[in-house]
Amino acid sequence: MASSTFDTLLQKIETRAARAGIIGLGYVGLPLAIAVARSGFAVTGFDIDPGKMVALEARRSYIDAVSHEALAAEIEAGRFQATTDFAGLAACDVIIICVPTPLTKHRDPDLSFVEATSRSIARHLRPGQLVALESTTYPGTTDDIVKVILEGTGLKSGSDFFVGFSPEREDPGNQHYHTATIPKVVAGDGAEALALMKAFYGAAVSAVVPVSSNATAEAVKLTENIFRSVNIALVNELKTVYAAMGIDVWEVIDAAKTKPFGYMPFYPGPGLGGHCIPIDPFYLTWKSREYELPTRFIELAGEINSAMPRYVVGKLAEALDIRAGKALSRSRVLVLGLAYKKNVADIRESPSLRLIEIIEERGGRADYHDPFVAEIPPTREYQALKGRKSVALTQEAIAGYDAVLVATDHDKVDYAGLSKSASLIVDTRNVFDRLGLSAGHVIKA
């Protein structure tokens, strides 16, 4: 049966007759759905959030990487539709899982979304389907969890249906690369599953990179993010050491990166944000315990990066004491930038939330300004901050704060005007130096 099932599905994919189902219409799923639809497939998007359905019905994108016009074009062409009814999975020939994989409060993997989604697929599984996971996770998840749940139906992977893994590589705010132009690593449970993965993703993206197993593909994504986490931790640690020596780490990095080989610049900051780098490395540390192997680099990097918000607030308190003669506990602070990176509205795991929390734990009052985030939405860890609104960045408002803490260097900010209006600025992104606005009241942290 495997040959005829495989041949039929491969032909459907190659002729664009296959319908794709994308589960999870967030930062990964919606851009992928539009890219797949643009390549000629009919796409059904699935999500449990009725608010997303309302937005999509109105042709309104809630993801920066997908314009309203691009969304409307695919809907009006009949290539994209969205629903909360997972019964529609039965009509899909290719099903892609793009759901969150967070950590528990003990830094253990939380695969509840992957498991629940796999069970939903199992209820509608039929012969002749390809199911692929994109969510970042530890090596073995696709084969040991997704495949096992699906085979609980009595159907068999590699003969009745096919299973694969292709790690998402989205980079919110990146103007140079988008879903269709980023090479896609693909893997499958067996040669036929891999061939189907190559055919499907190869139709939607510029290049596919096949690897030998699902576990290998899962390890690729972890390696990419661990690489960034460890190197960011290194420069964060260098920042603290060089600051104690009176050396500017930013100047050091700028000079070091002139070397045309053997060096790649990474930059310090107030902490790590985004869904990937602060979280994904711990999927490997958890899995490594099964093999009784330590992951000292990864865990140390996590400790250093997690300590950065408290270090920054310490520098803020020191600057207030020395420059303004005022304790943090009696100060009003404006945190500039709530998003975890510049020019996006994404606040997932943003260190700005932790900065606000620490400032207020120490008795200060913290507000924020962010041109992309008008109000703090509900978050799992910072429920007390829900509903706070971005303050206007007027001259009068700025003058009312004892310090401005630059956490995210959005381009949509008048830094020259800010420098003139603020009495004290603590800059974690080196933005004032980069813009030639260095001044005595601008302190790097």
Catalogue the active-site residues: 276
DSSP code, position 291:
G
Q: Which stretches does DSSP call E strand in 371-427?
A: 403-406, 425-427
Q: How far apart are CA 13 and CA 18, in angstroms?
A: 5
Residues 6+ apart with CB under 8 A from 261: none
- Tell me the CA distances in angstroms from 214 to 58, 119, 191, 369, one per residue in order: 38, 20, 11, 43
Which of 207, 163, 428, 223 has the alpha carbon at shortest distance from 309? 428
The DSSP annotation for 398-412 comes to HHT-SEEEE-S--SS
Q: How far apart are CA 20 and CA 42, in angstroms?
A: 6
DSSP code, position 33:
H
Which of 16, 9, 121 has the alpha carbon at shortest distance from 78? 16
Residues 6+ apart with CB under 8 A from 120: 23, 86, 89
Tokens 């408002």 belong to residue = 397
Q: Which stretches does DSSP call E strand in 202-289?
A: 208-210
Q: Residue-wise over 130-160: b if at least 16 C-beta within 10 A, else e?
A: bbbbbbbbbbebbbebbbebbbeeeeebbeb
The helix/strand/coil state of 162 is strand
Residues 6+ apart with CB under 8 A from 318: none
Q: How far apart are CA 96 and CA 43, in angstroms?
A: 11
Whether 24 contacts 47, CB under 8 Å: yes
Q: Helix count (H) and strand count (E) of the chain?
A: 16, 13
